[in-house]
Structure 1
């Protein structure tokens, strides 16, 4: 939080607490960040959420895709047509609709862009741990 720009506003949370057995960061909501601020452009693995405003669906998709990382995105809408359209346009390895962090073990879990290479979960993930070699042998000569 000490690297937040002056135009950002912490709406709630924003403090780390030392607890027995470890550290805890309060759930935090931040508004007022600009598209190219560090917290928008990087993956924050903590209980931190940012709020950004947009004019329309096209701008929302443009802003979402205008980041260096692409692990996951969530869309919240009752409009199924919009959900299908926007989820196809988002450049993220996982897109959740009206939920977040729901996983299916039979589906690959991985991100796009700088959000890692390869997948975990599913049979597709096994390919990252294997090397295929084809050996052809003619016998009888």
Structure 2
């Protein structure tokens, strides 16, 4: 368990969304996603605090600085929304089962990343998290050979791989 106080500003690296690992993301879609991220941060309850980032960048495009929000609670909009921007909330938990309960206690299920030190904990997390993808000690990587898709309110079906192609097929069984 990490304290929100353990978040350090000096680890946030700024770059373009095309430069691999970066702490900024171009929230294109005509600025709609940028407006959504800004709105969520502007509506933070008093008990939640932006401890790093929190602002759009003054440059061409729709970039937002990577943002860390501490003190958010499970019922807060920022936790319950699927934020398609470089925003993470930090919530304390007592043990693994509580962490999984909190993570699964939202209506979305697109992706999760876990950063355990041991294989057994990684496998428990992978089984317990109800998401379309679980990254272990990495985040945001996909390959075309492996399907990717959300569960619950995060979407229907899969993209990538042969599994993604199946959404465009109609199976018919004919027996003579």
TM-score, scaled relative to structure 1: 0.90
Equivalent position of 1:106 in the other structure: 145
Q: Map 1:17-36; keep pairs closer than 5 Å.
A: 17-20=57-60, 22-36=61-75
Query: Which among 64, 78, 87 is matched to residue 48 of structure 1?
Result: 87
1:135, distance to aligned residue in structure 2 (A): 5.8
Equivalent position of 1:10 in the other structure: 50
Please give the per-residue CA displacement for 1:30-87, whole angstroms capped at 9, x wherever unaligned. 0000001111111101111111110001100110000000000111011111110121
Equivalent position of 2:132 in the other structure: 93
Q: Secondary structure at the match of 1:30?
A: strand
Equivalent position of 2:169 in the other structure: 130
Equivalents in 1 of 2:173, 2:125: separation in Å?
42
Query: Counting strand residues as a fraction of each chain, which structure ranks higher?
Result: 1
1:18, distance to aligned residue in structure 2 (A): 3.8
Equivalents in 1 of 2:126, 2:173: separation in Å?
38
TM-score, scaled relative to structure 2: 0.73
Q: Secondary structure at the match of 1:58?
A: helix
Which of the pair has more CA radius of gyration? 1
RMSD of aligned C-alpha atoms? 1.4
Structure 1 gaps, min length 5: none
Please give the per-residue CA displacement for 1:63-120, whole angstroms capped at 9, x wherever unaligned. 0000000000111011111110121011011000000112121111001110000000
Equivalent position of 2:35 in the other structure: none
Structure 2 gaps, min length 5: 1-40
Equivalent position of 2:78 in the other structure: 39
Aligned residues: 136
Query: Counting helix residues as a fraction of each chain, which structure ranks higher?
Result: 2
